[in-house]
Amino acid sequence: MDIAEVQPGLTDFVSQKSGHAATIENLVRLSGGASRETWTFDAHFPNGSDSIEGIFRCDPIKGVVSMPGRVLEYHLIKAAWEAGVVVPEPLWDGDDRFGVKFFTMRRVPGEALGARMIRGEQYGRAREVMSQQLAQSLARIHTITRDAAPALAGLPGPKPGASVALAEVENYEASFRLASPNPHPVFELALRWIHANLPQVDEQVLVHGDYRLGNFLFGEEGLRGVIDWELAHWGDPMEDIGWLAVKSWRFGGKRPMAGIGEREAFYREYEAAGGHKVDRERVKFWELFGNLRWGVITIGQAANYLNGRSKSVELASIGRRTAETEWELLNLLEGKGD
């Protein structure tokens, strides 16, 4: 959307929801994020109510049916906020005034780039404490169940009776076969292992679905907010732990959990914060599948260049990152992971 549309619409929306006439200033669209538009704004109230530093998030294209995690992003953040997860405070879910799904939340200042967390000199303290903070927030996410969160009933989940992982495995396997221009023997070995080791889990909880560096806002003191909830679904809590250990998400950090945390300490802190009992075999399953998943995504990104949909040198070069995931898959298949 353009600013001439957002400015008056948001002014009216905030006035209506807050119950006070508002003025919207500093409305700026942030760069990045092809799948969502994110705008920052400041709302001031001439009657003297406290100003709001806010975020306005919306789908970019009118009429496109949004995925459940996007439609429900406000409710996801609200449920997480109420469960004690470190997230930006949700303000108001949108209505139909813009013709696209939108919502507002409070703005949390901070950094999100994974490489800065690993290498930034000013984040030494954050690197020491954030693994535990991530374990605590993840434990709280996983306390959210279907029964307790009727607003989230529309999120996707596993097929009844099937492995909690089967639908996702089939989804990424199909993407791989569709998009890959080259044979990948390592992926084939991994897929055979994955199909032979599908986890069976009875209890399903809210899974963030993309819990990794890049989706955490942080400052010098550590975690400030878990963001990007659009891949949330019902499933196995071990999925988020395995994904957090995927090598490519360590951004060169030497420790296995997000590049900054040790496995056993993370598991201990997760369990102590009310998380589920950590099943190391299931974590390994999800970590191995996570490496395959990211590998398939790199192939898909490069395919967008190869089929002419994008001319980006960045997307083209991501095709050469597939090899990293193949290398790590071999390590995990041979029991040489860290």
Partner 1 sequence: MQDRPNVDELLEAVAGFLHDDVMPNTTGRLSFHARVAGNVIQMLRRELALEEDTLDREWAGLDGLLGPVPKPQRLSEVRTAIVGRNEELVAHIQRGEADSGDARSAMLKHLRASMHDKLAVSNPGLAAEG
Smallest gap, in angstroms, from Cβ of residue 207 to partner 1? 29
**CA–CA separation, 114 vs 258, rounded Å?**
9
Nearer to partner 1, 142 or 247 (CB): 247
Smallest gap, in angstroms, from Cβ of residue 183 to partner 1? 4
Residues in the chain, overall count? 338
* Window contacting partner 1 (CB under 8 A); options: 33-41, 52-60, 180-188, 218-226: 180-188
User: Biggest alpha carbon distance in the chain?
Assistant: 66
Rule CB under 8 A: is residue 115 a binding residue for partner 1?
no
**CA–CA separation, 312 vs 307, rounded Å?**
12
Rule CB under 8 A: is residue 185 a binding residue for partner 1?
yes
Q: Say how many residues touch partner 1, by CB under 8 A.
A: 24
Q: How far is CA 298 from the centre of its chain?
A: 17
* Window contacting partner 1 (CB under 8 A); options: 50-58, 74-82, 218-226, 327-335: 327-335
- HSE (side-chain half, CA atoms, 13 Å) at 322: 23
**CA–CA separation, 145 vs 152, rounded Å?**
9
Nearer to partner 1, 28 or 64 (CB): 28
Other CB atoms within a 10 A radius of the CB of residue 174 amount to: 11
Closest CA to 215 of 203, 204, 224: 224
Nearer to partner 1, 125 or 320 (CB): 320
Rule CB under 8 A: is residue 183 a binding residue for partner 1?
yes
Angle between helices 185-196 and 166-179 (to 10 degrees): 160
Rule CB under 8 A: is residue 111 a binding residue for partner 1?
no
* Window contacting partner 1 (CB under 8 A); options: 150-158, 263-271, 287-295, 320-328: 320-328
DSSP 1-51: --HHHHHHHHHHHHHHHHSS--EEEEEEEPS--SS-EEEEEEEE-TT-PPP
User: Could you tell me which residues come within 8 angstroms of residue 253 by beta carbon, excluding any fewer than 6 positions away?
Assistant: 117, 118, 259, 260
Nearer to partner 1, 32 or 46 (CB): 32
Q: How far is CA 170 from the centre of its chain?
A: 20
Nearer to partner 1, 133 or 248 (CB): 248
Nearer to partner 1, 237 or 300 (CB): 300
Smallest gap, in angstroms, from Cβ of residue 185 to partner 1? 5
Smallest gap, in angstroms, from Cβ of residue 256 to partner 1? 14
Q: Which residues bind partner 1 (CB under 8 A)?
A: 31, 182-186, 188-189, 192, 312-314, 316-317, 320-321, 323-324, 326-327, 330-331, 333-334
